A and B are shown apart, each in its own frame.
Chain A
């Protein structure tokens, strides 16, 4: 048999199994979303070329195990017919994960899938000193666990009370878990030092007496494998998509410029020092 270039295979999403000449094929999935067409093709390939099962990975990936070495090219062609693309492994930008976000979930503050697709278009597969993970969660409920990623994005609502529509029911103050709302003489006052932009006040308000704009809170340097550390939030609220991508560009570039090979973002930040990184982030934040 011809020489097998494992690193090329890995780049194309083929993970070597413990069983000789068997590979678990990782597929590209963005924001945890696949079409029914994708799924049919995956099922077909798993039955024909694998052993009839698929594995759902911890980061919303799909792997088809027991693909034989000699079938690899055929499997790729077959999957392409169902619009399925191979995923990636190794030192590059990995699957961008996302919860369902505001297109489906009543609690969502942002369109997570849209953001995940845009991040994917911008960065997916980009070669870096080590793996790099993005996750997008729609609100403070954090179903997608943003802070375990190198860059975690959390949907927020920038809230402002509108006096004219308020019927003074008091619900907003009741539902605020940060105790940021007080009602004095019929006026709703938000203490923005306490507010975490969860948006519960807006979503509960019976008369929509709030101006609410989608916004983002972004964490950096999370890792949840051998070392466990949650990402930190050095920036204030990010209020536009443009500002968001300026900040993510700055973060990934910093990693590219300063990381040693096989060093995760958190350890680069620990080694180089966070002040320099936070300074760059603030510059990107301010534009």
Chain B
């Protein structure tokens, strides 16, 4: 994960869809344009849906890392709307 300077981290493994996305969205809202968020999420529904929703909101996905415990960490760069 060393390639990116992570500004903040949010863990959404404690919630289920659709609150997963809401929690990630709220965390993104607290960042400034261009800052980078790491989102830890569960396999299954979250990893199938959350990255796509974040992409559709206009943010830039940099990477998806598979963690040893079966969760995933999505690295997202916040893109502020003009």
Chain A residues near B (Cβ < 8 Å): 106, 167, 169-171, 174-175, 200, 203-207
Q: Tell me the bound Cα distance from A148 to B77 in angstroms.
A: 44
Given contacts A174-B47, A204-B51, A206-B51, A167 and B63 within 8 Å (CB-CB)? yes
- In the complex, which range does the number of interface residues on chain B fall in? 10 to 19
Q: Are A169 and B63 in touch, CB under 8 angstroms?
A: yes
Inter-chain contact B64/A170, CB cutoff 8 Å: yes
A37 to B2, CA, bound (A): 58
The answer to whether B61 and A169 have CB atoms under 8 Å apart is: yes
Residue pair B55, A204 in contact (C-beta under 8 Å): yes
Give every chain A residue within 8 A of B25 (Cβ-Cβ): none
Kindly report which residue of chain B lies nearest to residue A170, judged by CB atoms: B64
Q: Is B60 an interface residue (CB 8 A)?
A: yes
Q: Is there contact, CB below 8 Å, between A106 and B56?
A: yes
Across-interface contacts of A170 in B (CB, < 8 A): 64, 66
Complex interface: chain B residues within 8 A of A207 (CB): 61
**What A residues does B60 contact at CB under 8 A?**
206
A175 to B46, CA, bound (A): 10
Question: Quick one: which of B58-75 are within 8 Å of A by CB?
Answer: 60-64, 66, 72
Q: Which 10 A-B pairs have the closest CB atoms?
A: A206-B61, A169-B64, A204-B52, A175-B48, A171-B64, A169-B63, A170-B64, A174-B47, A171-B51, A203-B52
Of A106, A171, A175, chain B has the most CB atoms within 10 Å of the CB of: A171
> In whole angstroms, how far apart are the Cα atoms of A170 and B34 in the complex?
23
